[in-house]
Amino acid sequence: MTDTEARADLVARAADAGARVALESFREELTVETKADKTDVVTQIDRDAQRRVVETIHEEYDDPVIGEEEGASKTIPEEGPAWVVDPIDGTNNFVRGLRIWGTSVASVVDGEPVAAATVLPALADTYLAGAERVTLNGDPVRVSSREDPDAFVVDPILLDDAADTAGVDVLAERFGDYRRLGCAQATLAAVASGSLDAAITTVRMHPWDTIAGAHMIHNAGGTVTDLDGEPWRHDSRGLVASNGAAHEEVLAAAQRAAGE
């Protein structure tokens, strides 16, 4: 087994371990805290799930862990290996009893992802990406083959507060439909598997919200750029992901949504 294969195996096991911890408390009574604002929520289960993920990783590797919750670094090193963890992506859905949430783990080397897993336990869905292909519950998946933007379904993951309504209007006018799943990693995985045709965010998001899903979209044949149309990185401003067939149209709509 190569090092990349070993890391791909471990992201799957670590994400599954964290997801199992979270699932045990799903739809149970929770104490919910807030962070930056009233919709930025966290629970003890987030912390417990992250702890389990980190324990699983450190059973085999003593690499840095970058994670959303306390106790983890917040910056991806430009050199060497590291792991990026979101113990419960979609915590707002989790605390409301909605099923679209999951645990995401990515392995990066020199700042670039080499393997990723997103486990959505309440949906019984597991997305995995190694060096090449992407699988959903063990079956290979690809981005959608749609070419007509009028038939696209696009997810506005996160838009600048000042332009939120106007941005959604831009997408509604240009594309066939839009969805907001409330979970960035589930959204990006859905683009990778062809369930959605594109997704955008006009703001800089945290790497634990994006890097695993962006890696999946690349491996599934899609395109991921920043708002300027340059190749996306974990520290990029904005994220524009699509099946690649009409990426320029998606990018132009994202730029209008950002007020550019």
Neighbouring CB atoms inside 10 A of 148's CB total 12
User: What are the angstrom distances between the C-alpha of 223 and each of 84, 242, 244?
Assistant: 21, 5, 5
Query: How are beta strands 239-242 and 198-201 bridged, if at all?
Result: antiparallel
For 152, what's the count of Cα atoms within 13 Å in the CB-facing half-sphere? Answer: 28
- Strand-pairing partners, residue 25, are none
Whole-number pLDDT of residue 71: 66
User: What pTM was estimated for this model as a whole?
Assistant: 0.94
- Strand-pairing partners, residue 129, are 116, 134
Q: Is 223 exposed, middle or buried (0-12, 13-18, 19+ CB in 10 A)?
A: buried
pLDDT in tens, the chain (260 residues): 888 899 999 999 999 999 999 999 999 988 878 776 666 678 899 999 999 999 999 999 999 999 876 666 788 999 999 999 999 999 999 999 999 999 999 999 999 999 999 999 999 999 999 988 999 999 999 999 999 999 999 999 987 765 566 778 888 899 999 999 999 999 999 999 999 999 999 988 999 999 999 999 999 999 999 999 999 999 998 999 999 999 999 999 999 988 77
